Structure 1
């Protein structure tokens, strides 16, 4: 595994792990690597210091220091986080329903103005969007819609 320090076009810095340099190149070429701060997919490697161990360096004595234990969030905390995410998405995005895949593709190709959208699509259509480099992300909830 390789850890790269990356920088997006908006100058946000973040780290990401890749199986190989080729894996990094392939993912960034397809627009699959996005900035966690702003979602920008135009990213590149930032300056970083290499971590190299030489034979002359001595290994630290004793076991590594313990890592503080982290507690898992409770189900209530998870539900609250998902509800907050849902409210943000619904307040700041257009619901396009079952036309999500077609609308996302139109925006990616420049045939429709870019905007934040959410909706529904079948798993195979979502895979095709990802394979074609259309930046999409599954949400952990189903949109509210009126059922007959």
Structure 2
């Protein structure tokens, strides 16, 4: 298995897992490799350090940050890189999609109806203009804009 660091034309970085270098090249040529954030198929391979298991089987492994109590990005729950942040964003957005109902263009009407007690409360998502979203906020209706990411509709592999 080959794990490659990849980047799209919009500078989004992500990992790709391939059976071999030939597998990557073949998929790239057929435009099967795309950015999980924007869907761009203009992908290039980035430099990456090889992973060497030099300590495998040795007893004197260095302690981890969790064992020593030192603070680092992992312990603080912060992503270590832009790629990790992208992965966290995708995971959070997929969770939102899994736990909300898409009401499409009816979003503002349904949000108002729920707010005024004309409809049962439920978690919804949909589309509306920025102006209408501001009107909803001014009416005391909680709304949160979400990015539209093509990768959210598919499993990320």
TM-score, normalising length: structure 2: 0.43
Structure with max Cα Rg: 2
